[in-house]
A = this chain, B = another copy of it.
Amino acid sequence: MKKIINQPEHVVDEMLQGLVFMHGQLVERLDGYDVIVRKAPKRGKVGLISGGGSGHEPSHAGFVGRGMLSAAVCGAVFTSPTPDQILEAIKAADEGAGVFMVIKNYSGDIMNFEMAQEMAEMEGIEVASVVVDDDIAVENSLYTQGRRGVAGTILVHKILGHAAETGKSLAEIKELADALVPQIKTIGLALSGATVPEVGKPGFVLEEDEFEYGVGIHGEPGYKKEKLQPSQALAEELVAKLLQDFNAQAGEKYGLLINGLGATPLMEQYVFANDVAQLLKDKEIEVVYHKIGNYMTSIDMAGLSLTLIKLEETSWLEGLEAAVETPAW
The residues of A with any CB-CB pair to B shorter than 8 Å are 2-7, 11, 14-19, 21-24, 54-55, 57-58, 62, 191-192, 208-209, 211, 228, 230-232, 234, 256, 258, 262-275, 277, 290-294, 297, 299-300, 302-304, 328
Contact = CB atoms under 8 A, between A and B. Distances in A.
B57 A265 contact: yes
A263 B2 contact: no
Contacts of A23: 290
Nearest to A58: B266
Contacts of A234: 4
The 9 closest A-B pairs by CB, nearest first: A18-B270, A18-B274, A18-B273, A57-B266, A263-B263, A4-B268, A21-B277, A15-B270, A17-B274
A265 B297 contact: yes
Contacts of A208: 2
A185 B6 CA distance: 25
Contacts of A62: 266
B290 A21 contact: yes
Contact of A14 (B3, B14, B264, B274): B274
A8 to B, nearest CB: 10
A67 to B, nearest CB: 14
Contacts of A275: 6, 14, 18
A261 to B, nearest CB: 9
Contacts of A232: 6
Contacts of A57: 265-267, 270
A62 B265 CA distance: 13
Given A15-B270, A266-B57, A274-B14, A290 B6 contact: no
A22 B271 contact: no
